[in-house]
Amino acid sequence: MAKDLDALRHSCSHVMAGAVKRLFPKVKLGIGPAIEDGFYYDFDKEDSFVPEDLAKIEKEMQKIIKQEQEFKKEEIAKKDALELFKKESYKIELINNLDVKTVSIYRHGEFVDLCKGPHVKSTGEIKAFKLLSIAGAYWHGIETNPMLQRIYGTCFESKKELDSFIKFREEAKKRDHRRLGKDLDLFSIHDEAGPGLVFYHPKGALLRMLIEDYVKKEHLRRGYQLVMGPHILKSDIWITSGHYEYYKENMYIFKVDKEEYAIKPMNCPAHMLIYKSKVRSYRDLPMRYFELGNVHRREKSGVLHGLLRVRGFTQDDAHIFCLPSQVEEEIKLVIDFVMDTMKVFGFSDYKIGLSTRPEKFIGDPKIWDKATDALKGALSSKGMEYEINEGEGAFYGPKIDIMVKDALARSWQCATVQCDFALPERFGLTYTSKDGKKERPVILHRVILGSVERFIGTLIEHYAGAFPLWLSPVQAVVIPITDRSHDYAEEIFNTLQKENIRVEIDKRNEKLQYKIREQELQKTPYMIIVGDKEKEAGTVSLRARKEGNVGVVKIEEVLGRIREEITDRK
């Protein structure tokens, strides 16, 4: 985000807060930063904001903007700031946490806020804004803290840019995987069973199976071996891996027969133990273990979001045990695997980030540098551009993240490859070198899709639920026009089913147009309609999702179209 746009949006958040204080004087102020698509401000209000309040707040903001109030910065003593904000408990907390003698404040009109800036010169510079939504937000994002009310808004330098954003937002809303997941009967989440836990309905389970079947076959074709680890492991294993120290707050831990266990949040330790179960030679490497592993993580309830952020999910997880001399080549093979897979699923654009050593890490910093250089070398040798994300690596190693861009050019996290010299040391993994010495392998942690749940959510939004034929849970539906056509419809249905086409038949006593409209809403790729004329001529009337009414054709032509489309994965 450009600095001037950041300042404009931050200024707009102050104007919004000033308008809220005018309308609701008893409200207490939280914080109000600029964010990627706009801004927000958190408020502590006894009763809830309602959607109608947004229009009132916008109207009051327009008054403040028309007054062209100057944004004035002041540096005041900390004690004076505490006096100034004595009725604002959240500001008092923020000031007390500052180890400074003076603090920065900004004023416009009668409104004053604790703030570093920057801001535009006056409220009159705000030309195009809109308040978008109301949400709950814990103070500092901590669940034990008070729940505040967050108002989101956006601001642009021109009305044209704002209108474009609103149009984009409306399109994104139509593609929301949570709404489409319900409309297309793919999945559900039930609070009574537990938040963040996904229930796949028949169509959703079939979609997932199609994705997983493709992934399994591709792994086998590329030299991976399938493995499976248990869902729970004793805490000793998680202590060895480092997860107990660095990741414990995200793990489900319990006791059985006085022994402490944890449900796995990662698949790595199980793969380490499988590798360690035999003596390994340098000739065995690289060794690639793959698992569609179910994992569970204690995500905070406030961050759960449909399929994109859940507590129970599946990773297409693999660990590559290799010689130091093989690391860069294996990373390049992983990158090729990612790119090939994303193309198959309809993603052609992406961006790459390389994340370096975080503050909390295990292992030798020199080894980290070596691992980071291997990742950089692989990307450079393939001529791929990337951004450095300082301090955002995993606790055991640096990583490459590949973000795919969907039909709306939004980025989604999918593939990751992490270079790890630390876990082989912690688990005592070895291989016998050419000269008979025991050496440590290097481990590459990698996923191609990432979380299968998140990938399905991404696919739903990318295709707006209209999946390509090979991924569609229902590829065709046969619709008889009258009861007289039922036997012929059954004949067509059986013909398609024998060809392994996922087909349904709709013999309900409903009007034809109603059935057609329903299948359009379900985004069914092909509708095969049969009546008296079609039965007599041995033909069908074909409707295609992409083309509309195709016309009267022979069933052999329908089969040919479908086979070709499936083969081409269109």
Backbone angles phi, psi at 538, to 5 degrees: 70, 35
* Three-state SS at 376: helix
- In this structure, what DSSP letter does residue 157 have? S
CA 296, 299, 304, 308 torsion: positive or negative? negative
Give the integer Cα–Cα distance in Å for 439 and 329: 19
Beta-strand pair 442-451/312-322:
antiparallel
Which position among 42, 113, 316, 317 bears the catalytic label? Answer: 317
Which position among 115, 155, 268, 419 bears the catalytic label? Answer: 268
Task: Give Cα 35 distance to the centre of its chain.
Answer: 18
Asked if residue 358 has a cis previous peptide bond (ω within 30° of 0), the answer is: no
The torsion region of residue 196 among left (phi > 0), alpha (psi -120 to 50) and beta comes to: left
Task: Give Cα 21 distance to the centre of its chain.
Answer: 36
Give the integer Cα–Cα distance in Å for 368 and 379: 17
229 in Cβ contact with 274 (< 8 Å): yes
* Three-state SS at 242: coil
Nearest CA to 140 out of 31, 27, 21 is that of: 31
Nearest CA to 425 out of 235, 225, 242, 234 is that of: 242
Which position among 119, 319, 454, 543 bears the catalytic label? Answer: 319
315 is catalytic: yes
Q: What angle do CA 442, 385, 286 make, to 5 degrees?
A: 20
Q: Report, in angstroms and rounded to the nearest whole number, the Rg of the chain calculated over CA atoms.
A: 29
Which position among 399, 454, 535, 543 bears the catalytic label? Answer: 399
252 in Cβ contact with 262 (< 8 Å): yes
Kind plus residue range of the DSSP H or E element containing 291: strand 287-296
- In this structure, what DSSP letter does residue 522 have? T
Which position among 91, 108, 445, 535 bears the catalytic label? Answer: 445
- Helices assigned H by DSSP within 196-298: 202-221, 235-241, 243-246, 268-276
Provide the token pair at 195.
């938040």
135 in Cβ contact with 148 (< 8 Å): no
66 is catalytic: no
121 in Cβ contact with 71 (< 8 Å): yes
Residues contacting residue 470 through CB under 8 Å, at least 6 positions apart? 210, 565, 566, 569, 570
297 is catalytic: yes
311 in Cβ contact with 196 (< 8 Å): yes
169 is catalytic: no
160 is catalytic: no
Which position among 14, 264, 297, 535 bears the catalytic label? Answer: 297
Residues belonging to the active site = 268, 297, 315, 317, 319, 399, 445
